[in-house]
Structure formats: structure tokens, C-alpha cells
A and B are shown apart, each in its own frame.
Chain A
Amino acid sequence: MARVISFLTRTRGRDRLHWTDWFTYGYLFSGILLMFGPVLWLALSSFKTDAELERFPPRFLPYAQEMIEVEGYDKPLPVFTVTAGELAGARVAQVRRIGLVAQVVRPENPSEIIKIGIKDRQAVESVSLATKNYTELFERFNFMRFLWNSTFITVMATLIMLLVNSMAAFALSKYEFRGRGTVMALVIGVLMIPQTVVLVPLFLVTRELGMLDSLWGVIIPGAATPTGVFLLRQYMLTIPDEILDAARMDKASEWKIYWRIVLPLSAPALAVLAILAIMWRWNDFLWPLIALSRPEKFTLQLALNAFQGEMDTNWSSLLAMTVLTLLPIALVFAFLQKYIATGIASTGGK
């Protein structure tokens, strides 16, 4: 721990801070603010009540007004402190507000309604988390269904993509065949075509195959990506051919060479591609929006979109679900990144 601290607080200047130290730390902190500021704002806002969300100017922490049960009233009443007049300093519960006048009661004497100016009272507030935003997702919306749809699409699409791409990359990197250069050029060429351009043909093909409004209609069209083929091929080129020859002498079939030798040795590249694929699929919005129309097939991204109506946006639910949508991807990233760092680097050669 001490080493971590001394590492993080290293400076160029010995006794006092050099100007480069000021610059570096300033730069780094602004970076942190830029990266994590919005995320932190999102996380805190997701715990705010609707009233707090609409408040202007906004406050950083989620505050909620204290509520009190008063005899004779069905609902809990908001608590205020009186700041001026003869009741100054007393805690009162507001029954209703009419214009500039608030009707309040003292909790110990609920039957007597007192009128005070709204400027003479101040709301009693404390930091409190509106967890209702989250519980509501499960109670009022079918969050688990959206989560399952998103997870299913992400996992299946990633697995299929890794399989298909690695097989293509294996052939393109380790086999000599006529037209290999052309195929590779085509793959790289496809990199230059944006998805929006092929959106309409893709839609028509998917419809012909009868996969519209099904999860497979989202999974299959994105299964083979030129980026993935190119990335894996470049990595597989570094695997020495002699290892494959050795496996051939060991009577391994070509499938076995792929499955037992090439795939494990490509693990670092596969991990990188897996991270990319998971992020692409999880965050994918445009294609699912086109391919899926029934709400029970919606992914999380589409569900988030559904919260945003033409007239009204359900901010509290939207924010809470955004946080829940971010969590899995953040966990996956943290986990797989560690795996890359441990990567199997040695080639068994010299």
C-alpha cells in the first residue's frame, strides 16, 4: 500500500512541486473529472426522487425531504422548520400550500392549522437514497426480461463471432490457397463500409430469412466482423508454423490443430476481441431497434429508449436502468482486462 501511495504521489520536483507536476496532475485530474464526472453524476442522480431531479439549480447529492405521519392525515406530510414569526425554530408539517401561504400543523397538535408565509419556513432535508427507483424497475417494468434478452444476444453473438472469426483467421493466416490475398483484401475492404449503408439490404435479407422480431435476427447478422478476422489473423501469423507442423506429425487432424493448438495460443487476441464484441453487442442500439418490435423482445438499450416518450420522460427509472445497464459491462471489462495482462505470451521457441 505504501508503495502504491509513493508511486501515485511521485513528483519531478524534489522539495517543492515542479511546474510539470502541476501540469501533469492538473491534466490527470481533469481527465478523471471528464471520464468519471458524468458516471458519478448519473449514479447519484439515479437515487434522486422525481422532485429532486427537477429541482433547479441541481444538487450533487440526493436529498429527500423528511416526512412525518400526523394524526388525522392519510399521507405522510413534509416537515419544515419555521424561520420567522412567533413559531421560529419549531418543526411543523405542511398540510397544503396555497399561493404564497402554507398551511401547517404542529405534530403535537394536529387539529390546529397555522398559516405562515412560504418564505418563513425551510424544508428539513437529509441525504437519502431513493431506492424506489430501482425496486420499481422490477415491479412495474419487466427488467429481468430485458436483461435476459440483452445477455442472451451478447453471449451468443460473442461466442458465434469468436468461433467464426477465428476459423476464418486460421485459414487466412495458416493455409496457402489460391485467392487468399483476394479474400483478405475483401475482408479489409469491408472494414471501410459503414453499417448504416448496408442497413436497408440487411433488413431485407433478415426479413426474407424470417428472423425479424427474434433475438437471432440480432445475433446472426453481426456474427462475422472484418475487424475480428483481421485482428485474429494478425495475431495468428505470429504463431510459428513449426508448432502446427509438429502437431501434424503428432497425427492431429486439422480441426484438432485449430481447436487444441491455435485457439489456446490465440487466447490474448481472443480476449481482446471478446471485450470488443461484448461491448458492441451490449451497447448496440440501431440494429436491434430496427429488427425488434415487440416489447418482450427488447434489449436493455431499447427499453431505455422506451422510457423516453414524446411528451414525457420517466427520468428516475431511466437513470436507474442506465446504471444497471452499465454495471455488467464494467464488470466484464474489469475481469477480461486482467486476463489479457496475464496472457500466454511464450511461443515455446527460443
Chain B
Amino acid sequence: MAKLELRNVEKAYGAAKVIRGVDLDIEHGEFCVFVGPSGCGKSTLLRMISGLESITDGSILIDGELVNRVPAAERGLAMVFQSYALYPHMTVQQNLSFGLENLNTPKAQIAEKIEQVSQMLQIDQLLQRRPKDLSGGQRQRVAIGRAVVREPRIFLFDEPLSNLDAELRVDMRGEIARLHKRLGNTMIYVTHDQVEAMTMADKIAVLRDGVVEQFGTPLDLYNEPDNVFVAGFIGSPKMNFLKGVIKKGSGTTLVLETGDKIELPDDTPKVSDDMAVTLGIRPNGLHLASSADTSAVHVDVKSVERLGGESYIYAAMPNGDAITVHSPGQTEIEPGSQITLTINTSHMHLFSTESGKALLLTR
């Protein structure tokens, strides 16, 4: 069992705070992904968990045991690095056995474990080669094998797929997910790619500027983003954001900057008259309207992406704001034309423009 708890963890380099009070509970066997734009501190957080980076404040507990001052080697974790960090002067076999030798594992046992792991990762043909003679994908497997063979309590992955080409990345993604199912260990995975996060994670922690913006299951984050940042970061293509003002009359109306009016459900909570809000709507929450509608917006089509099974229309509102529309199937719409869109209110997100916090969660 390996449970990881972070309690108000902080990291500062001089005056610059990189991690600002992170609280997380990662249960045993969970696949947790840290995702966020570059510079958000996700790799630093991972290195703090690993023990390679000291922590300035707060506490890290593994299985309830405080490990703040425990050196990296003693924490029983294994890490896969972005650059693989294989030992270039050692063969694959030596790379795999190095950690076990340091644990004073008997030779017979080392050989047995290496055989088992190398077969599982299909690197058993490469054991006598050196890292420079391997392809990117093979190196990646060896790096993972080096972590697996030591049977750590928790696996840490630091953007392990970012050096691979797109096709291989998809393959390895599936492979790591299968590995997680098979081993059942706790895994923490850092990436800047939200697709990787969505497809692999049990739980996602979205980080920005050293703060966890939201922590939850992938679909929670997709369906109920806590704020504009998470809403914009999770989901591809990005959610559309339209600025407007609440007008309370007979009902609650949202008046967009373009003057378009959208009726909101009467029970909309936490909104007051004249409040500045941001409407968030995913591309698949917008539909093409054939005729003029009460809550419809008119946009100019700028470009169209035809993917065959579906299409994306990139358009601009009259005030210049960009808006993306998902259209199932193949569309006839050409750039330069004007279209009318209706908004599926059940897919609508409402955020306070001032604080960026979610106001309305509908589904």
C-alpha cells in the first residue's frame, strides 16, 4: 500500500515561490496526473515528492510517514525522466540491474527480475545493447523497466513521452496505462499535454503558478471546471469564452458584449444584477441554427477544418472574439459566410469575470 499525502507543500528559490501551498491526497493504486502549462511547477512538485528537490515548507507523507528529510534513495520511489537518463556507458542489462545491486539483491534474484521485466516490456532482445544503439521508444521502455524492476512503492513519471513522435506516444500511453493496471502501484505522471492527462488518469491535478487549481477525475474536470483556467485547459479544442453582463428583469438574462441576449434558467444561483460574467461553452455545446432564434449569436466563418467524421468551424464574433464550433459529420459551410449559432444551455458554464470562479454548474 502506498498512499501519498501533501500538506501545504511550498518551494521557494530565494524570494521566488515556485510551489505555493499544495494539498493533495493520492490514494493507493491511483494513477494521478499533474498537468499544467510549462513553468507551472509540476515537475518541481514531482521532484519534491521524489526527494531530489528539498521542500521549503509543509510536509510530504508516504503511507502516513513523514519523509521531508528522508533522502531520495530511501523513499522507495522510482522515477522515469524526460530524457530517460539511462547510463550511457552501461548495457541495458546493467542499466536495469544497477538499482538492484545497490539494494544488495542476490545475483540470481536480479537475473530473474530482469528477465521477467524485460519480457514484460519486450526489451529482452536488447539486454546486451547500449542506450545509444536504441531507438527512442526502446530507450523509453528501458527507462520504464529500470523503474519497474525495483518494485517501488510509487512510480514517478516526468513527461516521459515528450521526446517521442506522435504515433509512438499514443502506443506508449496505452502501454503505461496497461502497466498501471497490471502492477497496481500508485503512479504520478507529469505532463503538459491535457490529452495524455485525460486518457490515462484516475485523478488529475491541474496546476498553475505553483497552485493546484483543481483536483478530480478527468470527467469532473471536464464537466465541472472550478474556474476559467481549468475550463480553458481541459478539453480540445478549447472552450469558448464570451464576456457579458447579467440583467435581471422578469427572468435572468445574459447580455453578451455583442448585444446578443441569452436567457438563463431562473434558478441560476450566485448572480446579481449588472454582474460581469464570462460564458463558457465548449465547441460541441454550440449548434448551427437554421432560423433566427431568441438566444442566438451571429458569427463570421474564418476557416473550416474538415476531419471527415466531424468538422470544426473557426469563426469570429462581431466584436472580434474567436469562437470554435463543433459540427458532427461533414459540413458545407465555407469560410467568409455568416452563420447563426444557438447555445445549448445545458452545456453552459458561467464564470465570474472578476474572480474567474465558476458560478453556474449545469448538466
A interface residues, Cβ below 8 angstroms from B: 240, 242-243, 245-253, 256, 260-261, 264-265, 267, 344, 346-350
Does A245 lie within 8 Å of B88, measured CB to CB? Answer: no
Residue B183 is within 8 A (CB to CB) of chain A in the complex? no
Does B87 lie within 8 Å of A346, measured CB to CB? Answer: no
**Bound CA–CA A348/B82 (angstroms):** 12
Does B85 lie within 8 Å of A240, measured CB to CB? Answer: yes
Residue of B nearest to A256 (CB): B102
Within the complex, the shortest CB–CB distance from B158 to chain A, in Å, comes to 9
**Bound CA–CA A242/B47 (angstroms):** 11
Within the complex, the shortest CB–CB distance from A247 to chain B, in Å, comes to 7
Within the complex, the shortest CB–CB distance from B90 to chain A, in Å, comes to 8
**Bound CA–CA A347/B90 (angstroms):** 11
Query: Of B74, B81, B102, B131, which one neighbours A346 at CB under 8 angstroms?
Result: B131
Query: Of A250, A260, A347, which one neighbours B146 at CB under 8 angstroms?
Result: A250
Within the complex, the shortest CB–CB distance from B101 to chain A, in Å, comes to 9
**Bound CA–CA A346/B132 (angstroms):** 6
Set of chain A residues within 8 Å of B98, measured between Cβ atoms: 247, 250, 252, 260
Flag B45-84 by CB within 8 Å of A: 1 or 0 each. Answer: 0010010100000000000000000011110011101111
Closest 3 pairs (CB-CB, A-B): A348-B88, A250-B99, A346-B132
17 new A-B contacts, CB < 8 A, other than A248-B52, A249-B79, A249-B99, are A240-B85, A242-B81, A243-B86, A245-B47, A245-B79, A245-B85, A247-B98, A248-B72, A248-B73, A249-B77, A250-B146, A251-B102, A260-B98, A265-B89, A347-B88, A348-B84, A348-B132
Query: Of A242, A250, A348, A349, which one neighbours B102 at CB under 8 angstroms?
Result: A250
Within the complex, the shortest CB–CB distance from A218 to chain B, in Å, comes to 34
Residue B163 is within 8 A (CB to CB) of chain A in the complex? yes
Within the complex, the shortest CB–CB distance from A110 to chain B, in Å, comes to 76
Interchain pairs with CB closer than 8 A, number: 81
Residue of A nearest to B97 (CB): A250
Within the complex, the shortest CB–CB distance from B325 to chain A, in Å, comes to 39
B interface residues, Cβ below 8 angstroms from A: 47, 50, 52, 71-74, 77-79, 81-89, 98-99, 102-103, 130-132, 136, 139, 146, 150, 163
Set of chain B residues within 8 Å of A246, measured between Cβ atoms: 79, 81, 85-87, 146
**Bound CA–CA A243/B52 (angstroms):** 12
Within the complex, the shortest CB–CB distance from B295 to chain A, in Å, comes to 52
Within the complex, the shortest CB–CB distance from B196 to chain A, in Å, comes to 19
**Bound CA–CA A261/B98 (angstroms):** 11
Scoring A242, A249, A264, A350 by chain B CB atoms within 10 A of each residue's CB, the highest score goes to A249
**Bound CA–CA A247/B90 (angstroms):** 12
Does A251 lie within 8 Å of B88, measured CB to CB? Answer: no
Q: Return 22 A-B CB contacts under 8 Å, by A number.
A: A240-B83, A240-B85, A242-B82, A242-B83, A242-B85, A243-B85, A243-B86, A243-B87, A245-B47, A245-B81, A248-B72, A249-B78, A250-B73, A250-B98, A250-B102, A250-B146, A250-B150, A253-B73, A261-B87, A344-B88, A346-B132, A350-B83
Scoring A253, A256, A260 by chain B CB atoms within 10 A of each residue's CB, the highest score goes to A260
Q: A249-B78, A250-B150 are in contact. Are A265 and B99 (CB under 8 A)?
A: no
**Bound CA–CA A248/B87 (angstroms):** 12
Set of chain B residues within 8 Å of A256, measured between Cβ atoms: 102
Does A249 lie within 8 Å of B86, measured CB to CB? Answer: no
Residue of B nearest to A344 (CB): B89
Residue of B nearest to A264 (CB): B89
Residue of A nearest to B79 (CB): A249
Set of chain B residues within 8 Å of A350, measured between Cβ atoms: 83, 136, 163
Q: A256-B102, A265-B88 are in contact. Are A249 and B72 (CB under 8 A)?
A: yes
Within the complex, the shortest CB–CB distance from B338 to chain A, in Å, comes to 48
Q: A240-B83, A242-B81, A245-B52 are in contact. Are A348 and B131 (CB under 8 A)?
A: yes
Query: Of B52, B78, B86, which one neighbours A348 at CB under 8 angstroms?
Result: B86
Set of chain B residues within 8 Å of A348, measured between Cβ atoms: 84-88, 131-132, 139
Set of chain A residues within 8 Å of B139, measured between Cβ atoms: 348
Within the complex, the shortest CB–CB distance from A55 to chain B, in Å, comes to 58
Set of chain A residues within 8 Å of B150, measured between Cβ atoms: 250
Within the complex, the shortest CB–CB distance from B359 to chain A, in Å, comes to 44
Within the complex, the shortest CB–CB distance from B318 to chain A, in Å, comes to 47
Within the complex, the shortest CB–CB distance from A43 to chain B, in Å, comes to 40
**Bound CA–CA A251/B50 (angstroms):** 12
Residue of B nearest to A348 (CB): B88
**Bound CA–CA A261/B86 (angstroms):** 11
Within the complex, the shortest CB–CB distance from B11 to chain A, in Å, comes to 15
**Bound CA–CA A111/B5 (angstroms):** 116
Does A251 lie within 8 Å of B73, measured CB to CB? Answer: yes
Within the complex, the shortest CB–CB distance from B93 to chain A, in Å, comes to 14
Within the complex, the shortest CB–CB distance from B162 to chain A, in Å, comes to 11
Set of chain B residues within 8 Å of A248, measured between Cβ atoms: 52, 71-73
Within the complex, the shortest CB–CB distance from B319 to chain A, in Å, comes to 45
Residue of B nearest to A347 (CB): B88
Within the complex, the shortest CB–CB distance from A256 to chain B, in Å, comes to 7
**Bound CA–CA A270/B246 (angstroms):** 73
Residue of A nearest to B102 (CB): A251
Set of chain B residues within 8 Å of A347, measured between Cβ atoms: 88
**Bound CA–CA A348/B85 (angstroms):** 6
**Bound CA–CA A251/B104 (angstroms):** 10
**Bound CA–CA A201/B276 (angstroms):** 81
Within the complex, the shortest CB–CB distance from A196 to chain B, in Å, comes to 41
Set of chain A residues within 8 Å of B132, measured between Cβ atoms: 346, 348
Set of chain B residues within 8 Å of A247, measured between Cβ atoms: 87, 98
Within the complex, the shortest CB–CB distance from A239 to chain B, in Å, comes to 9
